[in-house]
Structure 1
Amino acid sequence: MAEKGPFLTSCIIFYLSIGAAIFQIFEQQPWQTAREKYDTQKENIVKKFKCLTKEDLDEILETVWEAAGQGVPITGDTHRDPWDWANSVVFASTIVTTIGFGNVAPKTEGGRVFCILYGLCGIPLCLVWISELGSFFGNRAKRLSAVLIRKGLSVKKVQLTCTALFLLWGLLVHLVLPPVVFMYMEGWSYLEGFYYSFITLTTVGFGDYVAGVNPNINYHRLYKVLAQLWIYMGLAWLSLFFSWNVNMVVEAHKVLKKRRRQRYRDFYQVEPEPVEDKDKQGEKPNVVDIFDFPKEDDYSTIIKQIGARAQEI
C-alpha cells in the first residue's frame, strides 16, 4: 500500500480537479442566470403589489423557506403528512442504506438523537443483508456456470457468458427500464429517471429527484413498495458490479506488471522465471465465480491476447 499510496492520491486529486472543472463549466453560468432571474422576479413582484415592500417579501420568502425546511409541502396537497407510517418507512430506509435524500429530515432533538443511534445499528445490519443478497445472486451465477461447464463449454466462454448475463440483467432491471416507469409515474424525462436511478443506487442521494413524494400525484401504495424493493435489489447488484469491476482492474494490473518485469528481464538479459506446466496445475473447475477469477483461462488471458495483437499491429 505504501508504494501505491502516492500514485492513488495523485489520481484522486487529478480526478476531483477534472470533475470540479467540468461541473463548473456546466453549472456555474445557469446558476448565475437563475439567481439574476430570481432577483428580477422579486423586483417585479414588489412593483406589481404596491402595498408590499422588499422587506415584507423577504419575510414571506423566509417563512416559506422555513416551512420547506421542515418538510411542509409548499404547493399541491399541503396536508400530506411526510411522517405517516408509509413515508416514515421510506425515511428509515434512506438511513440504513446511507442514501439520505435530504428532502425529509428529523427536526426535533429527540428525532436527531434517535436517527444517530438508529443509523449506528441499522447501517451495519443493512450492509450485511445487502451482502447476503449479493451472495445469493452470485450463487445463482455459479449454478449457471456449473450447468454450462457440464455442457462442455470452456472456462473462458463460461466466464464471458455469465458476465454478459450479469451485466445485461443488472443494467436492464436497475438502470435502463426503471426510468420508463418513472416517466409514467413521476412525469420525468428519461434522462431525469436514469439520473435518479444512478444517484439512488450509488447512494449519492442528492435529493433533487425523489420518487413517490410529489404532493400533486396520488401514488398507489404498491408503487412505493416496489420502489423500495428495487432500491435494495439494485444496491445488491451494484455491490457485485463494483466487485467485478475491481477484479477486472486488479487482473489488468497484474498483467501489466508481469509485462514490465518481462521487459526488464529482456533488457538486462535476466533468466526468465520457470513456468509451471499447465497440465500439472489441476483439472478444469466444476464452477466459475465471475467475482473471484480463477487462475487459468480467465480475463487476464483475454487481456494478454489483446496486448499480443496490438504488438503485432
Structure 2
Amino acid sequence: MSKDSPTPQQKPCWKCIQAFWISFPHVCLVCSVVLYSVIGAGVFHYIEGSREMEITELKEFLDKLWIIALNSSTNNMTIMGNESAFKEMAKEALVQDIKPEWKQKPEEQWSFMSSLFFCCTVFTTVGYGHIYPVTIYGKIACMVYATVGIPLMLLLLADFGDILAGLLSRTYRRAALACNRQWNKSTFYGQTGKSSLTSAKSNLTSTTDSQVSMREPLNITDVIKTQASVKRKYLKMRNIDLFELIVIKENQKVLPMKGGKFQRSHSCPDLDLVSRIDCVMYKFGKIGEELDRLDVPITLIVLIMVIYIMCGAFILPIWEEDWSTMDAFYFCFVTLTTIGFGDIIPKHPNYFLLLFVYTTVGMAIVCMAFKLGQNRLVSFYKQCITCISRGKVTKYSGDN
C-alpha cells in the first residue's frame, strides 16, 4: 500500500476533512449573513433607539386638538352639532398629522431584537413597513446597509437553492430510476421468466467480481500490484487509453475544473495533494449553476412550496395566538414571495430567529419554483413563435 494512502484508522479523519472543505463555502456565507445582521442590529439600536422622542411635534398636535375642541364649544351650535363637528375635525387631524412612532417609545420600538428583525426585513427585501428609521443618520445607514446586505442575501439564497436543487434532482432521478427498474423487472419477468433472470444474474456476478474488489480507494500502483486481471488486459491489448479508462471508471469520478485541474469526489487518495483553497474558490465560483440545471416537473416544486407554506401556517399560530391558520398561510405566502404588505406582522420578535430560518429556506424553494416557471414560459413562447412562423424563424445573428 502506498505511504500516502490512508489507513483504515485514518479514513474517518479523511472523511471529516473532506466534509469540512465541502461545507466551508456554505458555512462562510451563513456566518457572513448572521454577522452582518448582528452588526446592523447594533447600529440601528444605537441610532434609532437612543433618539429622543419628538415631544415638540406631539405637543403641537395635542394643542391643535385642544383648539378644535374649544372652537366647537364656543360656536353657537346645538350640543349634537358641537359633537359631530368636533368628531369630524378631530378625525381629520388624526388622519393628517398623527405619526406611528408616537405610539411607542424609541427604546421599546428599537430594542436589539426588534432592530435585528428590521435588518432581516431589509436585506430579504420583504419590508413590512411597521418599523422604519426616522432620523437622518438612520435613513442613511439603512440605504448603505441595504446596498451591501441585499446582494449578500441573494448570494445566500442562490447557495441554498443549489443545495436544495441538487438534493431534489438526485431524489427525483433515484425515484424515477427505481420506478423504471421496477417496470423493467416486471416486464422482464413476463417475457423471459425466472430461469432467464437467474442465468443473467449469474453472468452479471461473474463479470463484476473484479469491480467489487475495486470499490475501496486505490492509487495507480496498488491497482497494478493487486488487480492482475486489469494488468493482463492492458498487456494483452496494448491499449493505454483502455487501461486508463478502466482505472478511472472504477476508482475515480472526476469533474473538470478551470485551468485543467480536477476536483475529486471518489478517487485515489494521492489526489488529496491538490490545494484545498482552489477547491473552495471553485465552489464559490459555481454558486447558482445547480439551480440553473434543475429540471424536474414544475408541479413537484409547486407541491413542495404549498406543503412548506402549510407547515408554516400550522406552526405560526402557536406563538401568534391572534392569527388564524388562514392568516398564517397568507402571511407566509406574502413573506416568501417578498411582497410584504405589512397588514399582518408578527408581534413576537423574540421568535424571529426561527422565522428567519423558515423564510430563508422558503425563499430558496420559491426561487426554484419561479426559475422553473420562467424556463417553462420561455419554452412555451418559443413553441408559439415557431408555430406562428411555421418553423421559418431562425436564430438572430449580429453579423447579419
Which category of TM-score, normalised to the shorter sequence, fits these structures?
Answer: 0.5 to 0.7
Matched, 1:180 2:314: yes
The Cα offsets for residues 55-109 of structure 1, whole Å up to 9 and x where unpaired, read as 984598379822x2x1734xxxx89822111111110011101111110000111
1:180/1:150 Cα in 2 relative to 1: closer, same or farther (>3 Å)? closer
Which residue is 1:246 aligned to?
374
The Cα offsets for residues 259-280 of structure 1, whole Å up to 9 and x where unpaired, read as 3344879xxxxxxx9xxxxxxx
CA distance in 2, matches of 1:80, 1:60: 27
User: How do 1:183-262 residues align onto structure 2 when only pairs under 5 Å count?
Assistant: 183-184=317-318, 185-211=320-346, 213=347, 219=348, 221=350, 223-262=351-390
Which residue is 1:308 aligned to?
none
Q: Secondary structure at the match of 2:343?
A: coil
Matched, 1:96 2:149: no
CA distance in 2, matches of 1:127, 1:173: 20
- Structure 2: gaps (5+ residues): 1-68, 73-78, 182-293, 395-400
CA distance in 1, matches of 2:172, 2:331: 33
Which residue is 1:9 aligned to?
none
Of 93, 96, 103, the residue aligned with 1:72 is 103
Matched, 1:112 2:139: yes
Give the conservation status (yes or no) of the 8 Å contact 1:201–1:234.
yes
1:255/1:193 Cα in 2 relative to 1: closer, same or farther (>3 Å)? same
The Cα offsets for residues 20-58 of structure 1, whole Å up to 9 and x where unpaired, read as xxxxxxxxxxxxxxxxxxxxxx99xx95997x9559845
Of 170, 193, 202, the residue aligned with 1:143 is 170
User: How do 1:18-167 residues align onto structure 2 when only pairs under 5 Å count?
Assistant: 53=86, 57=90, 61=94, 65-66=98-99, 68=100, 70=101, 72-73=103-104, 81-148=108-175, 150-151=177-178, 153=180, 163-167=298-302
The Cα offsets for residues 156-205 of structure 1, whole Å up to 9 and x where unpaired, read as xxx9976544332221112x232233444242233332222222112121
Q: Which structure would you say has the larger Rg?
A: 2
TM-score (normalizing by structure 1): 0.54
Give the conservation status (yes or no) of the 8 Å contact 1:183–1:190.
yes
The Cα offsets for residues 239-264 of structure 1, whole Å up to 9 and x where unpaired, read as 11100001111122222333334487
1:197/1:57 Cα in 2 relative to 1: closer, same or farther (>3 Å)? same
Q: Secondary structure at the match of 2:103?
A: coil
May I ask how many residue pairs the two structures share in their alignment? 204
CA distance in 1, matches of 2:142, 2:162: 29
CA distance in 2, matches of 1:101, 1:235: 16
CA distance in 2, matches of 1:104, 1:220: 12
1:61/1:255 Cα in 2 relative to 1: closer, same or farther (>3 Å)? closer
Give the conservation status (yes or no) of the 8 Å contact 1:96–1:123.
yes
CA distance in 1, matches of 2:157, 2:344: 24
Give the conservation status (yes or no) of the 8 Å contact 2:313–2:328.
yes
CA distance in 2, matches of 1:160, 1:114: 41
* Partner amino acid, structure 2, of 1:180: F
CA distance in 1, matches of 2:150, 2:119: 10
1:71/1:160 Cα in 2 relative to 1: closer, same or farther (>3 Å)? farther
CA distance in 1, matches of 2:305, 2:114: 27
Q: Secondary structure at the match of 2:344?
A: coil
* Shift of residue 220, structure 1, vs aligned partner: 8.3
Q: Secondary structure at the match of 2:180?
A: coil
CA distance in 1, matches of 2:386, 2:312: 42
Give the conservation status (yes or no) of the 8 Å contact 2:386–2:392.
no
CA distance in 2, matches of 1:55, 1:134: 54
- Structure 1: gaps (5+ residues): 1-41, 214-218, 266-272, 274-313
TM-score (normalizing by structure 2): 0.44
CA distance in 2, matches of 1:55, 1:163: 54
Percent identity reads 24
Give the conservation status (yes or no) of the 8 Å contact 2:161–2:367.
yes
Which residue is 1:168 aligned to?
303
Which residue is 1:29 aligned to?
none
Q: Secondary structure at the match of 2:360?
A: helix
Larger displacement relative to structure 2 (115-124 or 55-64): 55-64
1:152/1:71 Cα in 2 relative to 1: closer, same or farther (>3 Å)? farther
CA distance in 2, matches of 1:249, 1:166: 15
CA distance in 1, matches of 2:179, 2:124: 41
